[in-house]
């Protein structure tokens, strides 16, 4: 252990005293059951100073120069988990943002995905352990043979549903005078959902209640794979689609809502990494772009759209009754082929969960020992 006026070093990691005092684990500084921070460093006149610092094999113990006296005890395991003093190559897996700890994304096209499909068939029916792993790696997970009740119970075990205009679930089926193109027999090009709303990152959940019609095969596209290939071949177009917000709109007659939102098709992290795709051609209209940009933007948009429509990137399959399909709405675009209504009915139940419920549950399992006594 090394000390100076401002920090202490434990296992070659430096910790500022202000950081340690701010993150004190005592009941006076952090509420014991909600774990909410109670200590407010902005009320201190000076940077917290220790009277004594002691390091054992298990703990760092600091008695602070305060009135009344205050002691902080930090388990070494806790300190190493949250250590922030690291070099660029010194990865601290647990303290990274949640997303980066999950199985690495495997960016797929049709040929690559087909290598995994036979492996998936061995998973059989019902909810198996691997569903979440596949969701992170491939952006979607397909589960077979759930009853409607099993489907509801499964989603409820993940988190509360985000309500649609129709309630917890929206039933997609042919409706006369449809308010949504999905409620027709039309072909639907690959798209992400809720392009026209200011919603957070969603998990899209499909459940096939019945599928007796001819046609209507589902189409999935890995938007991250398409974006990578598109960006390598057309870097200028990629930049244009990342930097130009366009309008996505939806006019609902029956519910009397007109949703409109401006968003670029590619959302990039500060690092330049792609984090989300927003795309639904049937909602992309009446763009309000500068006159000089319009023609070039159309070229970039059409080039990208043709990538999405290229069968080499599309996984097409028939969803059967009882199938449950979960998709990362920031990555996977979904669509369907047209179907023949006279051949039988088709009812697809759609619901949405917050992606935070996926990552939050996973984080809970991983971190709970740092908060709750074993």
CB 210 within 8 A of CB 248: no
Q: Which two tokens stand for residue 128?
A: 């198996």
Stretch that binds Fe ion, among 28-36, 81-89, 191-199, 227-235 (CB under 5 A): 191-199
Stretch that binds Fe ion, among 97-105, 192-200, 252-260, 302-310 (CB under 5 A): 192-200
Among 193, 220, 326, 358, binds Fe ion (CB under 5 A): 193
Residue number, 189 or 193, with CB nearest to Fe ion: 193
CB 155 within 8 A of CB 161: yes
Report the C-alpha gap between 295 and 171 in whole angstroms.
38
CB 11 within 8 A of CB 76: yes
Task: Encode 288-314: b = buried (16+ Cβ within 10 Å), e = exposed.
Answer: eeeeeeeeebeebbeebbebbeeeebb
Residue number, 143 or 332, with CB nearest to Fe ion: 332
Residue number, 193 or 323, with CB nearest to Fe ion: 193
The DSSP-derived string for 121-133 is: HTT-BS--TTHHH
CB of 225 to Fe ion, least distance (A): 19
Residue number, 10 or 188, with CB nearest to Fe ion: 188
CB 141 within 8 A of CB 315: no
Residue number, 313 or 352, with CB nearest to Fe ion: 352
CB of 270 to Fe ion, least distance (A): 29
Report the C-alpha gap between 13 and 2 in whole angstroms.
10
CB of 151 to Fe ion, least distance (A): 18
Pairing label, strands 346-354, 202-211: antiparallel
Size, binding site for Fe ion by CB under 5 A: 1
CB of 365 to Fe ion, least distance (A): 31
User: By CB under 5 A, is residue 189 in contact with Fe ion?
Assistant: no
Residue number, 193 or 222, with CB nearest to Fe ion: 193
Please identify the residue of the shown chain whose CB is closest to the bound Fe ion: 193
CB of 188 to Fe ion, least distance (A): 7
Residue among 334, 307, 295 at smallest CA distance from 232: 307
CB of 335 to Fe ion, least distance (A): 8
Q: Which residues sit at the interface with Fe ion, rule CB under 5 A?
A: 193
């Amino acid at each position: 252990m090394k000390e100076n006026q401002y920090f202490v070093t434990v296992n070659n990691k430096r910790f500022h005293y202000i950081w340690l005092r701010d993150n004190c684990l005592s009941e006076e500084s952090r509420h014991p059951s909600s774990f909410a921070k109670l200590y407010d460093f902005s009320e201190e006149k000076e940077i917290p100073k220790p009277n004594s610092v002691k390091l054992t094999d298990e703990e760092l113990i600091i008695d602070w120069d305060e009135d009344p006296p205050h002691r902080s005890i930090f388990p070494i395991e806790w300190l190493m988990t949250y250590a922030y003093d690291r070099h660029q190559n010194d990865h601290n897996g647990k303290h990274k943002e949640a997303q980066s700890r999950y199985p690495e994304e495997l960016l797929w096209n049709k040929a690559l995905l087909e290598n995994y499909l036979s492996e998936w068939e061995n998973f059989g029916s019902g909810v198996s352990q691997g569903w979440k792993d596949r969701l992170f790696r491939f952006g979607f997970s397909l589960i077979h043979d759930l009853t409607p009740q099993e489907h509801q119970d499964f989603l409820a075990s993940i988190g509360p549903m985000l309500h649609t205009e129709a309630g917890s679930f929206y039933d997609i089926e042919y409706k006369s005078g449809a308010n949504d193109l999905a409620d027709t027999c039309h072909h639907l090009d690959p798209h992400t959902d809720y392009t026209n709303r200011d919603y957070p990152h969603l998990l899209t959940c499909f459940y096939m209640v019945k599928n007796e019609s001819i046609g209507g095969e589902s189409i999935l596209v890995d938007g991250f794979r398409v974006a990578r290939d598109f960006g390598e071949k057309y870097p200028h177009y990629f930049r244009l689609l990342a930097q130009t917000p366009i309008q996505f709109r939806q006019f609902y007659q029956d519910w009397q809502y007109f949703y409109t939102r401006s968003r670029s098709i590619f959302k990039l992290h500060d690092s330049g990494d792609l984090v989300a795709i927003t795309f639904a051609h049937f909602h992309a209209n009446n763009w309000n772009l500068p006159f000089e940009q319009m023609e070039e933007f159309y070229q970039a948009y059409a080039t990208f759209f043709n990538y999405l429509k290229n069968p080499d990137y599309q996984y097409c399959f028939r969803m059967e009754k009882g199938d449950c399909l979960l998709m990362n709405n920031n990555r996977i675009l979904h669509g369907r082929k047209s179907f023949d209504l006279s051949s039988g009915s088709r009812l697809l139940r759609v619901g949405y969960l917050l992606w935070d419920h996926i990552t939050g549950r996973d984080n809970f399992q991983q971190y709970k020992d740092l908060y709750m006594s074993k």
